[in-house]
Amino acid sequence: RSSQRRYFGRGDSHAGYQKNSLFLKRDHANGFLEASYLMGTALEEDCRSLVSADLDNDGRKDLALMTYQSGNTKEKALHLFRNVGASRNHWIGFDLTRKGGSGSGLGASVELVTDRGKRKACRVIGDSFRSQYSSRIHFGLGERERVQRAFVRWVDGTSTLLKGPKIDKYHKVP
């Protein structure tokens, strides 16, 4: 029992040599493909603090994560995995900033209306361990080339309507 306390108290990985998994969506009929080795994300180190965000503003979400190496000293390393995959799919994103209130748009929601229906996303924090996601709200649109409207609901009860916002770009919503 005392050796178990010493092990868990050191902060070592509880997963041993378990490698990371990265799943790519193939299509609706065939599900997902485990591609971590092929994509270079199957790291040996203990990985924490994973976030996905569009780090280079190209509309494709990239990955950032921290690795922890055990031993006499704890060493940390930041790994960035840029999404460079070719795609004909479209996207739209929103930067939510509010003057005189919550500058981060925290608690706001965006409802997106396309020819295939409605989708909704909220600006939240605290949904990840030891990391924080971007304040942007990002929607993948697939092959759809048009968004009918975007409706932003702010925490203070006000709202902002964007009619026919352009795709494949980020919109600053004041």
| pLDDT tens readout for residues 1-34 | 555 555 555 555 555 566 778 888 887 788 899 9
Annotate 116-149 with three-state secondary structure.
CEEEEEECCCCCCCCCCCCCEEEEEEECCCCCCE
Supply the pLDDT for residue 28. Answer: 73
Query: In this predicted model, which residue has the larger pLDDT, 130 or 63?
Result: 63
Alpha carbon distance 148, 136 (integer Å): 20
Sign (positive or negative) of CA dihedral 104, 105, 111, 114: negative
Q: Residue range 143-171: average pLDDT?
A: 93
User: Does the pLDDT of residue 96 top 90, yes or no?
Assistant: no
Supply the pLDDT for residue 10. Answer: 55
CA angle 64, 49, 20 (to 5 degrees): 75
Q: What is the DSSP string of 29-78?
A: TTEEEE-HHHHT---SSEEEEEEEE-TTSSSS-EEEEEEEE-SSS-EEEE
Percentage with pLDDT > 90 across the chain: 37
Summarize pLDDT for 50-88 with one digit per residue, the tens.
Answer: 888 999 999 999 999 888 766 545 778 889 999 988 888
Radius of gyration of the chain (CA): 20
Supply the pLDDT for residue 87. Answer: 84
Evaluate whether 64 touches 128 at the Cβ level (below 8 Å): no
Supply the pLDDT for residue 58. Answer: 93
